[in-house]
């Protein structure tokens, strides 16, 4: 174990932990010249006095926080997806070997990295995660209540709107087979549902307020299928989009392009890869589905494109294709200051 003071390493690899961090330092040729084991309260002091260097770490909880601090000290910081580090782990596995593998992986010219988020992006993403969890909890709660009712012969219409309208009538109807105890339990659960809906509405309003205040969000919302939720989710996840070389790279990052399994000069394209941010992909697909169903195709050039696709493929494939196109348009808007989506009527022959 090397001394706790940093050496003149050109590259550091950090294996993150909750309280203990293992660090491997390498010189310009890639040879490991030092190993350190530091606690959370000393790692910032270690890198504050270290000479500016390239620092790599795996993407995991806490990596964004540490990356922001290390950048402030003048270091070049790169966050690597964990699956891209694994091929560099040699022989047995332990924390120091993992740190050395990270130090080697971060120097590869073809390595792919995770964009470092600002504190504002992290806050916005937290809002989305909280809302998504509460919406899932609401679904579970409604399903549980509907199942309890059907056990006593009371069937309630599907859909959250019809459920909220029918449930009060079910509770006051003395002619159904609900027992007094079950009626009381369902009333308590229905109160929980009301409180949950109030919390969802409050978080949604906060997200919408962020979207209204941000100039980039307002420009993104000019694209069909992108509302306040999708616009702010794009900013929270992709930032300014400059980490992508092209619009297609952003669509591929979201898992909206086909998986490929090609060999021997024969190209084989499969279903979409479903990689990347599944929450943002879901929002874009929901928005695209809304466009396929409700977009005025006679007044938007996307309408003719959707019509041509629907003539030769299933509507679900059309929806995913439109979501990929929307992601590409979003990348252009992020990378061109002041750009918006211009609705143009289709050209008729």
Nearest CA to 11 out of 49, 46, 56 is that of 56
pLDDT at 301: 85
Q: Compute φ and ψ for 33, nearest 5 degrees.
A: -120, 0
Cα–Cα distance for residue pair 118/116, rounded to 1 Å:
7
* Low-confidence residues in the chain, pLDDT < 50: 1-2
What is the model's pLDDT at position 2?
A: 47
Neighbours of 334 (CB within 10 A): 22
| pTM, entire model | 0.88
Residue-level pLDDT at 4? 65
Residues 263, 158: Cα–Cα separation, whole Å: 47
User: ∠ CA 305-306-307 to the nearest 5 degrees?
Assistant: 90
Question: Residue 99 is encoded by which pair of tokens?
Answer: 């740190």
What is the rounded distance in angstroms from the CA atom of residue 304 to the CA atom of residue 320? Answer: 16
């Amino acid at each position: 174990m090397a001394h706790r003071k940093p050496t003149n390493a050109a590259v550091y690899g950090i294996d993150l932990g909750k309280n203990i961090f293992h660090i491997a330092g390498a010189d310009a040729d890639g040879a490991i010249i030092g190993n350190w084991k530091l606690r959370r309260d000393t790692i910032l002091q270690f890198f504050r006095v270290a000479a500016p260097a390239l620092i790599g770490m795996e993407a995991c909880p806490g990596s964004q926080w540490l990356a922001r601090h290390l950048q402030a000290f003048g270091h070049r910081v790169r966050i690597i997806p964990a699956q891209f580090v694994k091929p560099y782990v040699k022989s047995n596995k332990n924390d120091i070997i993992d740190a050395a593998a990270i130090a080697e992986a971060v120097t590869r010219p073809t390595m792919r990295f995770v964009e470092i988020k600002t504190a504002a992006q992290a806050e916005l993403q937290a809002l989305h995660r909280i809302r998504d969890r509460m919406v899932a909890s609401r679904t579970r709660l409604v399903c549980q209540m509907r199942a309890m009712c059907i056990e006593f012969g009371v069937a309630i219409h599907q859909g959250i709107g019809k459920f909220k309208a029918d449930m009060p009538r079910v509770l006051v109807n003395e002619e159904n087979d609900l027992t007094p105890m079950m009626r009381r339990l369902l009333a308590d659960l229905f109160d929980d549902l009301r409180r949950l809906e109030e919390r969802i509405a409050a978080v949604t309003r906060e997200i919408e307020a962020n979207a209204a205040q941000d100039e980039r969000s307002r420009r993104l919302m000019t694209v069909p299928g992108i509302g306040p939720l999708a616009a702010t989710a794009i900013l929270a996840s992709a930032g300014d989009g400059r980490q992508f070389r092209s619009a297609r790279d952003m669509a591929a990052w979201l898992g909206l392009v086909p998986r490929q399994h090609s060999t021997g000069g024969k190209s084989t394209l499969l279903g979409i890869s479903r990689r990347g941010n599944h929450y943002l992909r879901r929002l874009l697909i929901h928005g695209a589905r809304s466009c396929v169903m409700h977009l005025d195709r006679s007044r938007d050039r996307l309408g003719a494109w959707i019509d041509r696709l629907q003539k030769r493929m299933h509507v679900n494939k059309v929806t995913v294709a439109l979501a990929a196109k929307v992601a590409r348009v979003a990348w252009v808007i992020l990378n061109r200051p002041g750009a918006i989506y211009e609705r143009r009527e289709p050209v008729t022959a």
